[in-house]
Amino acid sequence: MNKINLYFSILIVLLFVSCKNDQNLNVQNAQDEKKPRVDTADLTNDFYDNAETYDLKTNDLFIEGEISNPGNVDVSNLKLRSIIVKETLIDGRGDQFVGAYKYEGYSLYDLLNQSYLDKRNADTFKPIIDLFVEIENDEGEKVVFSWGEIFYPNHLHEIIIATKVTRIVPSKTNELWDLPAASKIVVASDLITERNIAQPKIIRVKSYPKNLIVEKGKYPLFSPKVDFYFENEKKVTLFENPKQIPETTLHTIFYGRGRGIHSTQPFTGIDLKTLFKDKIERSKKAIREGLFVMAADDGYRAVFSYSEVCNRNDQADILLICNPEVKTDGIFRLFPSCDFFSDRAIKGLNTIYYSEHQL
């Protein structure tokens, strides 16, 4: 082989090796891009990327209930959502802090978004705000969420089924909280995080089984009192807001899903959770399974979970407003400041039902 051919052969080999190395480097770079980056040197302003992210063991999810397309959930095209929580559980000696975490997973909003509702009571009450969602795990534990806290809140996608977890490590103590091993429901707005149950597998859509007479267009829409029922037993009747509970004024842009803007006027009333403080025991069962039905004089009603009324960490309170001078849309009404829309701001309120035993 002459020198020219030898040089040419060597050049070909070198080019081949270089291309192969570039390909390997590109593959390695692509793999590195997929790995969560750990910023242990505080090179960014993000406090939540300073520890390793771990995958959680997941279950297949099945959606059933009052929908026309039940079945297994395909998450392949869903976006991963991220929330941060300080997990704390009820303990006999007081509330027990578990740890601070960033979770990533699939939001309940996205998981239910393609479910076609088939309401059992649609012929008598068409609005969707009496729906709730029950989630069950491998151990038979159940937690509930109102349809409103999934689809109506000011901050969407804050209830997720987590598939990844990252510790939020204190910079001075470097304390490492215990890591969960399995997927779990995680609720960003809950103060006590008892609804964060592990390994959810079944999501059920239900309408609250309370038959109320509906008089659409009733005028005047008026009730002089509100009756409070605990497990179908009347406990309290209000003719005015209790004077020992201080009033709160909340400023808002009051906007309806159908009619759009209503007003920009503030609402003044009492914090609804304060009303129930001595009437409903704060327990694991209440936090997980308690549901309110708030009903108006004309049969219009909405479901709220115990946690969204009495177990919030965001101070987005629900007000009970009493205006005795209002005779056509009164005298009681609700203002859920946690909602983007006004649909659950029930006027002419006359009954509040509470139960921890769902059908």
Q: What is the DSSP letter of 67?
A: B
Contact 204, 112 (CB under 8 A): no
Element housing 275 (H / E): helix 272-276
Range of the domain at 322: 221-355
**What's the N-to-C CA distance of the chain in angstroms?**
89
Cα torsion angle, 303, 134, 112, 216, sign:
negative
User: Six-digit token pair at 53?
Assistant: 């992210």
Residue 22 lies in a domain: no
Percentage of the chain lying above the pLDDT 70 cut: 88
Query: What pLDDT is recorded for position 116?
Result: 96
Tens digit of each residue's pLDDT (9 = 90 or more) over 26-72: 444 444 444 456 866 567 788 888 889 999 999 999 999 999 999 99
Is residue 312 classed as helix, strand or coil in its secondary structure? Answer: strand
Q: What is the pLDDT of residue 32?
A: 43
Q: What is the pLDDT of residue 27?
A: 40
Residue 266 lies in a domain: yes
Task: Tell me: do 161 and 264 sit in the same domain.
Answer: no
pTM, full prediction: 0.87
Instruction: Indicate whether 178 and 258 sit together in one domain.
Output: no
Does the structure show a pLDDT above 70 at 162?
yes
Which domain-ending residue is among 177, 207, 237? 207
Same-domain pairing of 53 and 194:
yes
The secondary structure element, H or E, covering residue 276 is: helix 272-276
Two tokens at 46?
């993000």
Is 151 inside a domain boundary?
yes
Segment 200-223 mean pLDDT: 93
One-letter identity of residue 144: V
Cβ-based neighbour number of residue 74 at 10 Å: 10
71 and 144: one domain? Answer: yes
- Statement to judge: residues 162 and 237 lie in one domain: no
Please write the tens of the pLDDT for every residue from 298-341. Answer: 999 999 999 999 999 999 999 999 999 888 888 999 999 999 99
Any idea what the Cα angle at residue 207 is, between residues 203 and 209, rounded to 5°?
120
Tokens standing for residue 89: 């559980």
